[in-house]
A and B are shown apart, each in its own frame.
Chain A
Amino acid sequence: MSVALAADAGLALLILGLAVWTSIARTAGGAVIGFMAYGLLVALVWVRLAAVDVALTEAALGSGLTGFVLLGAAARLPRDAPAARPGWGLRLAAGVVSAAVAAGLAAVVLLLPVSAPTLAPAATANLPALGLGNPVTGVLIAYRAIDTLLESVVLVLALIGLWSLARDGDWGGRPGALRSADPSPALVLLAQVLPPLGILVGIYLFWTGAIAPGGAFQGGTVLAAMWVLTLVTGLTRPPRVGGRGVRLLLVAGPALFLAIGVAGFWLGGAFLAYPAGYAKPLILAIEAALTLSIAVALGLLLAGPPLAQSGPRA
């Protein structure tokens, strides 16, 4: 057994251990913290699988922002005893079914055919025509652009769903889930010092996505995290959900993407086709608008549904 394989085996065991901890931890908060550590280790696995773009997304979104949302929810759960666990019969049946599914999938992994079908050569070969160096960005923004367009719309839909959960009286207020009553001075200092650097990192991730791992989603996530940091400490206030400016920012990315896609009917011969020679600038414009819209959408998703103004009213 080589050193690398031994290290990978250790990594896999740690991941499984954290997954078990997430399932059996006594408190919800403990389970969520286990899940966040689990997400960071899974990001390491993605690096080991040479999928650095995925690793960045997993660390920022799958572990970081998801953990943030779940921690916030765990802190607000009722303290009384949780509902009774299902009986032994159901647990046994569920265990048998789950073990059978896992064993079946493991068998599939072990019995895979030797030669794997892949589109990687085609994806790499056509990159120069797009002016890109990162094949993942090429797939996201050109070959499978329809997926990315729908995905950016899904974020807006999720936000609409979230806002729909507000009570009638709260509609039109500012999202109120993040503001902590008394942030610690250390956190306030961090929120003052970190965002300039974080914004730089976010913009860099978006820019470098054309030639190296990175892109609109990773960059937008970092920008959203910086915004959320200032929201938590009260340095900035979340915008009113009815405001025109924030809604414009939210749809700017998907709208520009859709507009350029429709223009492709005339200029490129198909929906979402880029005219020859103009692919790179168009892709950069779409990615820039998407980064901004994704950052705003993620930040508002974390900020929760609107709440009516507290305190004295005019």
Chain B
Amino acid sequence: MSSVTLFGLCGAALVGLGLFGLIVQPGVLRKILAFNLLGSGVLLLFGVIARRGGGVVAGNGSDPVAQALIITALVVAFAATVLAVALLRRLVQETGRDSLDSDG
């Protein structure tokens, strides 16, 4: 097994872990964290799959197209996280709770 495959399996496990946390965690902040884990696992998988082609052809580097897309994705994920956190803080301001249960 190569290192690249190893990191690919790691990415797959991260996606599963993030998905589980997103469903099961009651607190919104924990859901945001889990969503970030999930996204980071997806990007890792993408990078691993792109690494196989780019690394072989373009000398030492990874595939530049995939790298550029991952950088774009990281910036968008940050913007989405900030917006989610701002919504959470407003939710706490309005209701005093940090979970989404309508009856709790």
Contact = CB atoms under 8 A, between A and B. Distances in A.
A66 B49 CA distance: 26
B24 A8 contact: no
Interface string B66-104: 111111101111111111011111101000111101001
A155 interface: yes
Given A23-B17, A84-B104, A136-B64, A45 B7 contact: yes
B7 A217 contact: no
| Interface SS majority for chain B | helix
B65 A139 contact: yes
Contacts, number: 282
Interface residues of B, number: 84
Interface in A134-156: 135-136, 138-140, 143-144, 147-148, 151, 154-155
Contact of A119 (B48, B62, B65, B82): B65
Interface in A17-55: 19-20, 22-23, 28, 31-32, 35, 38-39, 42, 45-46, 48-51, 53-54
A83 B26 contact: yes
Contact of B33 (A15, A70, A118, A147): A70
Given A31-B33, A42-B40, A124 B64 contact: yes
Contacts of A165: 86-87, 90
Contacts of A119: 63, 65
B95 to A, nearest CB: 10
A46 B47 contact: yes
Contacts of B56: 116, 118
Contact of B40 (A62, A140, A158): A62
Interface string B43-58: 0110111111111111
A85 B104 CA distance: 11
A106 B12 contact: yes
A19 B83 contact: no
Contact of B23 (A12, A16, A98, A103): A98
Given A50-B60, A82-B27, A66 B36 contact: yes
A112 B33 contact: no
Contacts of A82: 26-27, 98-99
Given A45-B44, A118-B54, A76 B67 contact: no
Contacts of B78: 61-62, 65-66, 298, 301
A120 B58 contact: yes
Interface string A105-130: 11011101001111111011000000
A287 interface: no
Nearest to B34: A23
Contact of A151 (B40, B52, B76): B76
Nearest to B98: A77
Given A23-B37, A66-B78, A120-B61, 8 more contacts: A4-B3, A23-B30, A77-B29, A85-B26, A110-B5, A110-B9, A147-B68, A301-B82
